[in-house]
Amino acid sequence: MSAVQADVGSNQSAGATVARQEGAASFREVLDSEKFIVTMEITPPKGTDLEPTLADAEGCRGHVDALTVTDNQSSNMSLGALVLSLRLKERGLLPILQVSCRDRNRLALQSDLLGAAHLGITDIMCLTGDHVVLGDHPEAMPVFDLDSVTLLQVAHGLVEGHDMVGNELKGPAPRFTLGAAVSPGSEPLEPQLLKLEKKVAAGAEFIYTQAIYDMDRLRSFMEQISDLDVPIIGGFCFLKSARGCQFMNNNLAGVTVPQSLIDRFEKCDTSEARLECSIEISAELISGIREACRGVHLMALGWERHVPTVLEAARV
């Protein structure tokens, strides 16, 4: 989602684990529960071999409530998100399909949404998408026929039984649960707040945040949107090194890794020490997000195998 965290008693923690092991048929069920939500981002491969990706997903079975499948993440070409979402669903895992406006016009977007619904994939993240110049095909022609707000409106129209121009759909209408994204670390923040209000008005039922590492900023953001009745799921990318933190600060709009976290990595002189530091920081971030948000979204960036350890360290 590149565009797009508290200590608990042992009985409560065990209950949440059992709920995740049993699984949910839809993300709406997860939202309707009272538990702290845990989701993880998973990225389709650049190629046709899905086995390593599916193994990463299986390794988190019972630890996360849903897997958010990216759509050509960061404008880098990969296997289609719908294909991976279907394969996850076939294995009894719960996918949330990202749909980006960057690569498709309104015809293709509506067609893909109907196709997802036909396959039983009804949990959808509506994103505008990163510009193609940021990815591995910078010469590609961007589309951006719609943006995230109008895509939400279109998807909500499909739920009501009609397409974007009012034509009636044949057969049962889709029953989507729609999500969107917000960046609490953007400066100025006002445009993000205004667009978030539009997204909720357009039908967004849950919101993921862009990676957030400053808990004071997150709490301030949550206070400013306290009148919006929508679950907020705070996200962060796993930090791996001081250099990686500095790369985020220099290249990801709206993302700021505090110097205090960078300093902790600077003291690590081995890969083992950096991994231990990453797990400790991730657990701390989950605790901070849990105090402010309805759930946490983990962007492991190739470290999906460490997600269970991080959640155990955070006592989730």
The per-residue pLDDT for range 168-198, each reduced to its tens digit, is 999 999 999 999 999 999 999 999 999 999 9
Would you state the pLDDT for residue 316? 86
- Strand runs labelled E in 8-161: 37-42, 66-69, 95-100, 123-127
Q: Are residues 67 and 93 in contact, defined by beta-carbon separation less than 8 angstroms?
A: yes
The answer as to whether 67 is a domain residue is yes
- Strand runs labelled E in 74-211: 95-100, 123-127, 177-182, 206-211
pLDDT tens per residue across span 221-246: 999 999 999 999 999 999 999 999 99
CA pair distance 261, 230, nearest whole angstrom: 30
Number of domains in the chain: 1
The answer as to whether 180 is a domain residue is yes
Neighbours of 16 (CB within 10 A): 20
Q: Which two tokens stand for residue 211?
A: 């990676």
Would you state the pLDDT for residue 24? 82
The answer as to whether 24 is a domain residue is yes
The answer as to whether 2 is a domain residue is no
Q: What burial letters (b/e) apply to 169-207, b meaning 16+ CB within 10 Å?
A: beeebbebbbbbbbbbbbeebeebbebbebbbebbbbbb
The answer as to whether 1 is a domain residue is no
Give pTM, 2 decimals.
0.91
- The whole domain housing 20 covers 10-313
Is residue 10 scored above 70 in pLDDT?
no
Single-letter amino acid code for the residue at 224:
Q
CATH code of the domain in which 27 resides: 3.20.20.220
The answer as to whether 4 is a domain residue is no
pLDDT tens per residue across span 78-118: 999 999 999 999 999 999 999 999 999 999 999 999 999 99
Q: Are residues 178 and 204 in contact, defined by beta-carbon separation less than 8 angstroms?
A: yes
Is residue 4 scored above 60 in pLDDT?
no
